[in-house]
A and B are shown apart, each in its own frame.
Chain A
Amino acid sequence: MRRYNLGLDGREFVIDVQELTADSFEVFVGDERYEVTLSGDEDLPEATITPGYQPGVDPTRPSTTSPRPARGPAAPKRRAVDAPPASAGGATLSAPMPGVILEIFVKAGDVVERGQRIAVLDAMKMHNLIRAPRAATIREVCVEPGQAVGHGDALVRYQEA
């Protein structure tokens, strides 16, 4: 469960988000309960996520990351590297399923074609090749070999070409 306190046009809302599965959430806005399913989740290029609002006191945990609570020992290093992007804009390639990163083929600044190899993710003892979904420039690599990742964790951030 994660609580967001936010002001919208001057009205204050208390929103509690409970993750049921990776793509379904139970959301409480005040006393109202909603069932929310997430069908897509990506940062739009050039979208500005205003850094002016930082809930809580921990500056390394901005609310712009997914509303999922830390998952315990499975993804211990996640929060440390999941820092906000250096500048606004760009999109994120995230882990399609939980596993361990074995190899990374790109570094920040690389220009990749659609389909180019980005990383190898070991899930259920199978080596899965993660490829670039579109032609792009890699801006940031968020994981390192040997790191455990959960579903939806950012692997690389990129700027569409």
Chain B
Amino acid sequence: MISPDTLGLLLQGLSHVTVASAVMIGLALVLLYLGIEKGYEPLLLLPIGAGCLLANLPLSPLIAEDGMLRVLYDMGIQNELFPLLIFIGIGALTDFGPLLENPRLVLLGAAGQFGIFLTLIAALLLGFTRPEAASIGIIGAIDGPTSIYVSGLLAPHLLGPITVAAYSYMSLVPIILPPIMRLLTTKEERLVRMPYSQRTLSRRTRILFPILVTLVVGTLVPFATPLIGMLMLGNLMKESGAVERLTKASAQEIANTVTLFLGLAIGSTMVGAEFLKPRTLAILVLGIVAFAVDAMAGVLFAKLLNKLSGGKVNPLIGAAGISAFPMAARVVQRVAQEDDFENFLLMHAMGANAAGQIASVVAGGVLLALMGAGAL
């Protein structure tokens, strides 16, 4: 005979299934579907979906004390290690050449961060606390690691929804950006051709750039030092050509490994009771508002530059002032070509995009400074 107690122990998994955990598993399946079938940022959505699924199984040992997902979280999310490692890889993959050739574009990168601060205010009005509001605003940068870094410091309990929002919208860049760009520009403006103007960059310039940016940004915005320092470290390794093995490892092996760990750990924070709240929905909505306003500010600022320059700047490149390197720049090129297949804006858009990458990191640092993260 099996006693009821024994039966209870054997079936305790079944008896601990809750509505919330079932819903979260459903959500995990949606994330897996989007990653695998739709190809939306599969490198992140698949591990996040898997982490979410594993964490929401009843009594999951993976998120218990010393469970693997918990260990990953403590190892690299709580102390910001993982996003910073990813940033070394991004730096090793980013070519700041187009920006150095056309330094004016840095203005577009700055304009592309406007939505962050507007969304911050909107989130405050909706009743989020200041650190929470700042973490939500940073979604507008459309820069996953920066979002994780900032919200990990300011509002770790919102990490799950913020990361999912940031990466989902990143994959939606090709869908969300074009209508905004078309809405705010006239056909005439989209037809502006910008001849490719190349300056021959010396190797010394390319090597000094990451060092100088680190010194300047690190001094002005100390909270941005970890992010900009790692981004520029990767770039310095790439441009110097002195440590090809390290550059390759940072851009590939290390970035790939950390992406897996990061995705799993983020997914494991998405646990039923905490995630299924109206505020998650609010975060998703505010995130997309932040994104759209960022893109609009970029385009409008580029329109201003267009006026000031006597019609020489195509306002479309402003949309690349958000982060999401290099996707946003490609979208700009594609939209410009719809109206004129002989128009090649790619290099200008790439410059604005690289500027946006730096600007979103700086914006993150500014937010942390404003929120007095040092006291945390």
Residues of A whose CB lies within 8 Å of any CB of B are 19-24, 39, 71, 96-98, 115, 123-126, 128-129, 131, 133, 151
Contacting pair A96 B197 (CB below 8 A):
no
Contacting pair B346 A23 (CB below 8 A):
no
Closest Cβ of chain A to B5, distance in Å, is: 62
Q: For chain B residues 299-346, which have a beta carbon within 8 Å of chain A?
A: 326, 329-330, 333, 337, 341-342, 344, 346
A93's nearest neighbour on chain B, judged by CB, is B342
Which residue in B195, B197, B347 is a CB contact (below 8 Å) of A124? B347
Contacting pair B344 A128 (CB below 8 A):
yes
Total of A-B residue pairs, C-beta within 8 Å: 50
Contact residues in B for A151 (Cβ distance below 8 Å): 196, 198
Q: List 5 A-B contacts (CB under 8 A).
A: A22-B195, A22-B196, A123-B347, A129-B337, A133-B342
Contacting pair A97 B346 (CB below 8 A):
yes
Does B227 make an interface contact (CB < 8 A)?
A: no
B102's nearest neighbour on chain A, judged by CB, is A21
Contacting pair A98 B344 (CB below 8 A):
no
Closest Cβ of chain A to B319, distance in Å, is: 15
Known: A115-B341, A131-B341, A133-B342. A124 touches B198 (CB 8 A): no
Closest Cβ of chain A to B199, distance in Å, is: 5
How many chain B residues have a CB neighbour from A under 8 Å? Answer: 20
Does B164 make an interface contact (CB < 8 A)?
A: no
Contacting pair A131 B342 (CB below 8 A):
yes
Contacting pair A22 B350 (CB below 8 A):
no
A39 to B337, CA, bound (A): 21
A103 to B198, CA, bound (A): 24
Residues of B whose CB lies within 8 Å of any CB of A are 95, 98, 101, 195-200, 326, 329-330, 333, 337, 341-342, 344, 346-347, 350
A21 to B101, CA, bound (A): 9
Contacting pair B197 A23 (CB below 8 A):
yes
Q: Supply 10 further A-B pairs (C-beta < 8 A) apart from A23-B196, A39-B195, A151-B198.
A: A21-B198, A23-B195, A23-B197, A97-B196, A124-B95, A125-B326, A126-B326, A126-B333, A131-B341, A151-B196
Contact residues in A for B98 (Cβ distance below 8 Å): 124
Contact residues in A for B198 (Cβ distance below 8 Å): 21-22, 98, 151
A130 to B256, CA, bound (A): 34
Closest Cβ of chain B to A102, distance in Å, is: 15
Contacting pair A128 B199 (CB below 8 A):
no
A69's nearest neighbour on chain B, judged by CB, is B200
A125's nearest neighbour on chain B, judged by CB, is B326
Contacting pair B330 A21 (CB below 8 A):
no
Cβ-closest 3 pairs across A and B: A96-B344, A22-B198, A21-B197
Contact residues in B for A20 (Cβ distance below 8 Å): 199
B93's nearest neighbour on chain A, judged by CB, is A125
B344's nearest neighbour on chain A, judged by CB, is A96
Which residue in A39, A71, A115, A126 is a CB contact (below 8 Å) of B346? A126
Contacting pair B344 A97 (CB below 8 A):
yes
B353's nearest neighbour on chain A, judged by CB, is A124
A133 to B326, CA, bound (A): 27
Contacting pair B347 A97 (CB below 8 A):
yes
Known: A21-B197, A22-B196. A124 touches B329 (CB 8 A): yes
Contact residues in A for B95 (Cβ distance below 8 Å): 124
Contacting pair A96 B196 (CB below 8 A):
yes
Which residue in B197, B333, B350 is a CB contact (below 8 Å) of A128? B333
Closest Cβ of chain A to B251, distance in Å, is: 13
Contact residues in A for B330 (Cβ distance below 8 Å): 126
Closest Cβ of chain B to A154, distance in Å, is: 15
Contact residues in B for A129 (Cβ distance below 8 Å): 337, 341
Of B200, B333, B337, most A-chain CB atoms within 10 Å:
B200
Contacting pair B195 A128 (CB below 8 A):
no
Closest Cβ of chain A to B119, distance in Å, is: 30
Of A21, A24, A124, A133, most B-chain CB atoms within 10 Å:
A124
Closest Cβ of chain B to A100, distance in Å, is: 14
Closest Cβ of chain B to A18, distance in Å, is: 11
